[in-house]
Amino acid sequence: MSENNYLYLMCNPDKWFGEGAEKNYQVNELLYNLDETSWGVSHLKNIFIGMQGIIKVSRDDRPLYFLDEYNLKKLESGIYATFEVVDFHPDKKDGSVTIKVIENLFREDRIIDKEKSKSILGNKFSSQSQGYINSDTFKLVYEALKEIPYKDVPKPIKGLIVEDSKEVYPRDIQEKENALKLANYQCEIDKEHTTFTARVNNKNYVEGHHLIPINQYDKFPYDIDVQANIISLCPTCHRQLHSGINTDVDKILNKLYDSRKERLMSVGLEITLDELQKIYYKELLE
| Tens of pLDDT, residues 129-183 | 889 999 999 999 988 987 887 788 899 998 899 988 999 999 988 889 889 988 8
Q: What is the mean pLDDT of residues 266-274?
A: 95
Q: Between helices 114-121 and 135-147, what is the axis angle to 10°?
A: 160
Q: What is the mean pLDDT of residues 47-61?
A: 91
User: Residue 85: its pLDDT value, please?
Assistant: 94
User: Residue 31: its pLDDT value, please?
Assistant: 85
User: Residue 139: its pLDDT value, please?
Assistant: 92
- pLDDT of 13 above 90: no
Nearest to 263 by CA among 230, 215, 285, 214: 230
pLDDT band at 19 (very low <50, low <70, confident <90, very high): low
DSSP 214: G
**Cα–Cα separations (whole angstroms), residue 21 to 13, 18, 70, 163:** 11, 8, 9, 33
Residue predicted with more confidence, 270 or 110: 270
Cα 236 versus chain centre, distance: 27
- pLDDT of 117 above 60: yes
For residues 249 and 247, what is the distance between their CA atoms, to the nearest angstrom? Answer: 6
Residue predicted with more confidence, 218 or 34: 218
User: Residue 284: its pLDDT value, please?
Assistant: 59
Residue predicted with more confidence, 2 or 190: 190
Burial of 277 (0-12, 13-18, 19+ CB in 10 A): middle
- pLDDT of 94 above 80: no
pLDDT band at 270 (very low <50, low <70, confident <90, very high): very high
21-25, 57-61, 132-136, 227-231: least confident range? 21-25
pLDDT band at 92 (very low <50, low <70, confident <90, very high): low
- pLDDT of 266 above 70: yes
**Cα–Cα separations (whole angstroms), residue 74 to 101, 130, 157:** 21, 22, 20
- pLDDT of 4 above 70: no
Identify any residues that bridge with 36 across adjacent strands, giving them in sequence order: 100
Strand pairing of 6-10 and 52-57?
A: parallel
pTM over 0.95: no
Q: What is the mean pLDDT of residues 237-258?
A: 93
**Cα–Cα separations (whole angstroms), residue 228 to 107, 108, 178, 209, 268:** 14, 11, 10, 11, 10
User: Residue 1: its pLDDT value, please?
Assistant: 40
- pLDDT of 108 above 80: no
Q: pLDDT over 70 for what percent of the chain? A: 93
- pLDDT of 22 above 80: no
